[in-house]
Structure 1
Amino acid sequence: MPRAVRYDRYGTVDVLYIADVATPAPAADEVVVEVVVAGLNPGEIPVREGLMHDVWPASFPSGQGSDFAGRVVAVGSAAGSAAGSAVSTPPIGAEVIGFTDRRAAQADYVAVPANQVTPKPAAVDWDVAGSLFVAGTTAYAAVRAVGAEPGETVAVSAAAGGVGSLAVQLLRRRGVRVLAVAGEANHDWLASLGAVPVAYGEGAERVEERLRAAAPEGVDAFIDAHGDGYVELAMRLGVAPVRINTIADFPAARKFGTKSDGSAAAASADVLAELAALLAEGEITAAVSATYPIERVREAYTALAGPHSRGKIVLRMR
């Protein structure tokens, strides 16, 4: 039978298990996709642990995952082009990249509205395609939120992560000078993307000193993908709150009036198609640090919660 990642109560990775489930049938406006790869995202951890119950309560049994890539196996009777969208419903057998709002991507099959998938370019690797949506749309929204212009200087924290590394590249495509805050092991890679690497660690004061040294003329905007005081650091650097976007420190965003645009602000198949095209054309790259079979989902999430790695972690269904 088809399989899906499930949990019946809040908790650690120990609550995760693989369940046998029925193959979903498409509603009139849906497609069913046989999933090849599904991505993991850090935001899924506090949801599973119950820390976000007041905002995103789980209904048990709950599934996991938003990102996926796979092949269309069924199309609903009314599925078609979304109004105002350049993306049309792919035929049965088509390879697609998509997203679900139902915590259901980590499964052999997923049913989603037809306007939540877009064709997968042949040049885009399955692992990259299956982990693109959350990181890609979050980076897209963050870059758009800070309004960076050519010639400006923008700092990005957690710049080697899935979101940060894409934000770095989208900013560079705009002609922006990027200060990429990351561990030294990733500095050469970030430099190859056109960024100016800045080491993190040894406390916020030392990071601030390094940023000031790297940009004596000042920092115009800041994208925080890490949290842990970076919003306050950006304020000390003189960045206007309207030009700070955090995806990791929402209390600080409320306190200082900064932006906090994330995946939901750019969640569309059109944006996904744009990002996929940039990947296919070699305009941007996306890193995948580890691939696990679905049976090792606990191990995958343990790795995700561990020391920060470059890029994304994904599950392979087959």
Structure 2
Amino acid sequence: MAAFNFTVSESPTFILMGIPGLEAAHVWISIPFCACYIIGLVGNFIVLFVVGKEQTLHQPMYLLICMLALTDIGISTSVVPKALCIFWFDLKGITEGGCLTQTFFLHAVSVMHSAVLVTMAFDRYVAICNPLRYTTILTNARIAILGLVGLIRSVLFMLPLPLLLSRLPFCANRIIPHTYCEHMAVAKLSCGDIAVNRTYGLVMAFVVIGLDLTLVALSYCLIIRAVLRISSKKAHPKALNTCTAHICVMLISCILFLFSTLTHRFGHGIAPHIHIILADLFFLIPPMLNPIIYGVKTKELRVKVSQYTCRR
């Protein structure tokens, strides 16, 4: 029996438990999960459709909003459908390849989401600090290049995660107490040394968060300095109002991302079901709220969406 416990399992399947301790309430929990997911999908697809159809919206700011919508769709879709399968049909099994793929995809899209938010901050900086040169500095081609750089960065940073997991031996216990295959949640199941996984995951989290938050903070410091130099105090709120949508999106995304990343490593005193629900909020709340925030705060987009809605 002792030999069996330490034998590496040949089973290619992991078991996702959903939200341990709340199994009896899975069906009820699925209702807000499904509602948030559908609202997010509808909102983001509306944004993509309207911007794609309207030539007048083929501008850098709206292209960035479309990039944000795509990452929001990717973030929620990487987690929510599988979670709903667990809640509704008790389909808890996931192959090892599927688990590693989900790990890479959800982390890579999250990093890409962060890169888009940084590019949006740069867009607001140019719009306020160099308004006369905005159209020459930020062209659609340059926005596409910045998006490509963000995509390459996310792939290069996150590709080692599934590669590091694939080298680990997994013992008989393949039960993941979560709704998705998060890197460290999977690594902790290994009967091998996970020091490299732990270090790389933590370094990448702080590098991405630290670098991106620093760039965003620098952009807003320069924006505030430029606004304070405007002689007319009545112009101050008008100038800063163009940044409110981005600030709201940044606050929501950063707070939830910090919760979902750090509680995996330092949240030992938190009840497991609370920890998992907080982590899942990152994949539910921003994708649902972001299109609403930009739809309300961006006049041109709001008008075009209203036109299409009324027309239909």
Q: Could you say which structure has the greater relative contact order, defined with CA pairs below 8 angstroms and 6 or more residues apart?
A: 2
Short-chain TM bin: under 0.3
Q: As a proportion of its length, which structure holds more helix?
A: 2
Q: As a proportion of its length, which structure holds more strand?
A: 1
Structure whose alpha-carbon radius of gyration is higher: 2
